[in-house]
Structure 1
Amino acid sequence: MVVLSAVVDEASAQSFRWGICPLPPVQQDFNVSRYMGTWFEIEKLPAVFERGTCQQATYTLLGDDTVNVRNAELLSSGQVNAIEAVAKVENTSQPAILAVSFFKGVPDSPYWVLSTDYLTSSLVYSCCDYLTLFHIDYAWILARTRALPDHVVRQQRDKLAAAGIRTDRLTVSNQTGCDALP
């Protein structure tokens, strides 16, 4: 019981749900090459590993059909906090489903592109089941710029809801005062 309590406490800063992960549909005919570049976080389900503001992710194709992922944020101290990972498409028949490896020996994190127009916005989902009793999910509304029109954000929220993903805990990401990040 103590272990479950500790997990629930840790998950309280995230989107903790009973039951198994939903399986939302992903972008059809996803093109990894067109997705490359920088995406800025507009809204998200809370994630304990995000502590700052100005969150952004930069994706770069590597020569071996993998993608370098660089996540960066600005901490309250003014320092840039960044981490790099490698993503790969696990099944070429579903290229919108990627696995991201941040640390050797730790299971890969799922990265599902639910929708993107490649030029303006993207909707990403990730979910991990624990003991088939509960799951922790993450969702990000991303943009090529540090802001999106309200109607586009609403459309992305509606897509999440239609996929069975609860949106009541989505939070707006602070993308102001981001001069320290390129």
Structure 2
Amino acid sequence: MTHTFHRFAPLLLACALALGGCSTAVPEGITAVTAFDATRYAGKWFEIARLDHSFERGLDNVSARYTLQADGSVQVINRGFSREKNAWKEAEGIAKFTGDPHTASLKVSFFGPFYGGYHVVALDPAYRWAMVVGADRSYVWILARDKQLPADIRAQLLAKAQALGIAVDQLVWVDQSRSDS
């Protein structure tokens, strides 16, 4: 038995280091929205723009649905259309507040015990649009209740993102033209 443990010890150590390195904290120099109301935030949001990552690559018509749970967590259902597979792709996860539920700083998991940061850093007073940053500046999403954002709001969010050190020139603008989304 000991021999087997020693054989896997480097892998276990690497996993432990990787998990310890996973951060759900707000990136340095960025502040999550306060006076946050999860009830108002719940519902369907359309992804307007994002920084590209493998888990969303090739998807358009992406949306997220947030549903409050009795235990204070938030069910998350992300959905997007893969043109390559000509099919919808869906992922279900859970989000939990990292502290005060009136601060828009959460951790979200789609893969069991592995969590990533989800921090709302800009939010329309009427909860019509939002900008979300992950645990670092390479995870950014611009979301809206409608499939399009007015040009002035888009410009305002791009200026805010740039001021936060986000690579706005690398944003992917999401096609939201499907009528069955």
User: What TM-score range do you get, normalising by the shorter chain?
Assistant: 0.7 to 0.9
Secondary structure at 1:174's aligned position in 2? Answer: coil
Q: Show CA shifts across 1:126-172 (max 9, x none).
A: 135xxxxxxx6211111101111111111111111112222121121
Q: Which has the higher contact order (CA 8 A, sep 6+)?
A: 1
The residue aligned with 2:94 is: 86
Specify the code of the residue in structure 1 equivalent to 2:118.
Y
The residue aligned with 1:99 is: 107
Aligned-pair identity (%):
32
Count of matched residue pairs: 152
**1:113 equivalent among 110, 116, 120:** 120
The residue aligned with 1:155 is: 156
Q: Which has the larger radius of gyration?
A: 2
CA positional deviation for 1:23: 3.4
**Aligned-partner Cα distance in 2 for 1:105–1:124:** 21
Ranges in structure 2 where 5+ consecutive residues have no aligned partner: 1-26
The residue aligned with 1:15 is: none
The structure 1 segments of at least 4 consecutive aligned residues displaced by more than 3 Å after TM superposition are none
CA positional deviation for 1:94: 6.0
| Bigger mean CA offset, 75-84 vs 56-65 | 75-84
TM-score after normalising by structure 2: 0.78
Contact 2:32 2:103 in 1 (8 A): no
The RMSD of aligned alpha carbons is: 1.7
**2:59 equivalent among 37, 52, 61:** 52
Secondary structure at 1:83's aligned position in 2? Answer: strand
**Aligned-partner Cα distance in 2 for 1:150–1:140:** 17
Ranges in structure 1 where 5+ consecutive residues have no aligned partner: 1-20, 129-135
TM-score after normalising by structure 1: 0.77
